[in-house]
Amino acid sequence: MGVNAPDPPDGPDTHGDRASRTRRTARMLVLVAAAIGLVHAAFSAYWAIGGTWLLSTIGAIAVEFSNRAPLESGLMLGAVALAKALAALIPVAVDAQRMPWPRVWRAISWVGGGGIVLYALVNIVVSGAVLLGVLVPDGGYDRDAMIGHALLWDPLFLVWGLALTGWLWLTRRTHQALGRDERRRAR
């Protein structure tokens, strides 16, 4: 085979090839997590400036609050949008080694990613159970919100959390090695 010819598909897999594939997969996961987080942030920002499309899918109480107190609702949703955008973008910056204190940000990301997964799973199951009639809340329920949680927002949260924790898992050894190198240089 020539110098630039790829290895045969059934040939031995070297550690470098596996590490390169793992790195590409990890990068894809952190970018998917960021994209989904930015979708969430964009909707929060849209609602913050007075948009109403799909607002009912997070609950009638949100619609009522935005009608009753638009300034307070806008400020709250603006803060939520900013928090979501930061939660989406900081892991990308950590992955690119552009953030100080990467261990701190990774620890926060582990807590956030796990929390998002748990939150999403609970809401998907409960909303789905209500929609299927397995759970019947006293006083009825907000159908638009249940559909939004079961089929839109919480599945997105779930994929966001899984992609984020997948990136963290795949990059744990690289991060540990970087930490060892930084400690050696500090000595």
Q: What is the distance between the alpha carbons of residues 31 and 33, in angstroms, rounded to a whole number?
A: 5
Two tokens, residue 2: 């020539």
Tens digits of residue pLDDT in 21-42 = 999 999 999 999 999 999 999 9
> Which tokens hold the place of 20?
């390169």
Pull the structure tokens for residue 67.
Answer: 């009608």
* Rounded-to-integer distance, Cα 91 and Cα 108, Å: 10
Confidence grade of residue 19 (pLDDT, cut at 50, 70, 90): confident
- Burial (CB < 10 A; 0-12, 13-18, 19+), residue 18, is exposed
Q: How confident is the model at residue 177, as a pLDDT?
A: 55
Which phi-psi region, left, alpha or beta, contains residue 79 (left: φ > 0; alpha: ψ -120 to 50)?
alpha
Taking 60 as the threshold, does the pLDDT of residue 182 lie above it? no
Model pLDDT, residue 87: 98
How does pLDDT run across 115-152, given as a tens digit for each residue? 999 999 999 999 999 999 999 999 999 999 999 999 99
Query: Tokens 């907000």 map to which residue?
Result: 142
